[in-house]
Amino acid sequence: MESYRLQDFNITLNKKGADRYTKASYPVRYGKFCEIKSTDYLFQFNLAGEIKYIQGVNQNWPHPAEWLKRTDANDWVFYSSAGYHRIFDLLGEYYLPCLPYSSNSIWVYNPFNEPMIQKALKAWDHLLAALRTTDSTGFPENIKNFLRLVTRHDHIVLHRKSEKLHEIIGSPVSVLPPDARHVDYEVIPLIIADGCLYHCGFCCIKTGQRYRARSERDILLQIRQLINRWR
């Protein structure tokens, strides 16, 4: 792990997180990651320089143990503690993942309407703009390389990557198996069938497609392309 001060930012490279998934009443990060800390926010990135987490570090943030997470499908999820005991009694989890769209919602609360959450998402834009004009002359090459990766992965690039994922699997994933929550929804989707046999009237996540099993060739092609995407 290496830490540097660059003007108004503290930069930490190759920070080591947990090596296995666990339920905890506090934020847990996994694998190796890098982070940039400003006065008001903590931004965390994977080793490719893609933004993964945003967390407020000032007194205006809703709760010191809540955070925003960006998925590989380029969706933002807000993890709400909403009173640990109430959430745990209801769901058996310490956090409630809140999505920016209404489907799959299990709670009335929509944090993405909150000014503080909107401000945090805009803070990432401000960070990219600041880093592009920051003079890193004299800093180690690994810091410069990291900053190049971060500034390269803006909204446009991340959106293109998510579209590539959807292209590989054939469509956006509208729902994940319930057990996926036990690995913080960090799953690689492999689609073996489209549509649904039942088409329940109350279902808000159905695709409208007729049920169709994917061919073995299609599934093997997905596997190869997904492996290449994450290399």
Q: Which of 103, 133, 153 is the last residue of a domain?
A: 153
Q: What contacts 53, CB < 8 A, 6 or more positions away?
A: 29, 42, 43, 44, 67, 68, 69, 70
Q: What is the pLDDT of residue 76?
A: 92
User: Do 31 and 132 belong to one domain?
Assistant: yes
pLDDT at 105 over 70: no
- Measured in residues, the chain has a length of 231
Q: Which of 93, 125, 153 is the last residue of a domain?
A: 153
Confidence of residue 137 (pLDDT cuts 50, 70, 90): confident
Rounded Cα–Cα distance for residues 29 and 142 (Å): 22
User: Do 32 and 91 belong to one domain?
Assistant: yes
Residues forming a β-bridge with 18: 30
User: Do 47 and 60 belong to one domain?
Assistant: yes
The single residue listed with the structure tokens 């073996």 is 192
Beta strands in 155-206 (DSSP E): 193-194
User: Do 4 and 112 belong to one domain?
Assistant: yes
- Rounded mean pLDDT of the chain? 87
Q: pLDDT per residue over 76-98, tens digit each?
A: 999 988 765 677 777 777 888 88
User: Do 60 and 71 belong to one domain?
Assistant: yes
φ and ψ at residue 223, rounded to 5 degrees: -60, -45
Domain count, the chain: 2
Rounded Cα–Cα distance for residues 77 and 74 (Å): 10
User: Do 86 and 136 belong to one domain?
Assistant: yes
Q: What contacts 7, CB < 8 A, 6 or more positions away?
A: 134
User: Do 84 and 119 belong to one domain?
Assistant: yes
Rounded Cα–Cα distance for residues 28 and 165 (Å): 26
Task: Print burial letters for 62-76: b (CB count within 10 Å at least 16), e (below 16).
Answer: beebbbbbbbbebeb
Report the candidate in 128, 86, 125, 120 with the shortest Cα–Cα distance to residue 100: 120
User: Do 101 and 176 belong to one domain?
Assistant: no
pLDDT at 8 over 60: yes
User: Do 84 and 197 belong to one domain?
Assistant: no
Q: Which of 88, 120, 153 is the last residue of a domain?
A: 153
The single residue listed with the structure tokens 């409630």 is 96
User: Do 25 and 118 belong to one domain?
Assistant: yes
CA angle 218-223-228, nearest 5°?
A: 125
pLDDT at 106 over 70: no
More confident call, 161 vs 21? 161
User: Do 33 and 122 belong to one domain?
Assistant: yes
Domain that holds residue 168: 155-231
The single residue listed with the structure tokens 């092609």 is 221
User: Do 112 and 176 belong to one domain?
Assistant: no
Q: What is the pLDDT of residue 103?
A: 62
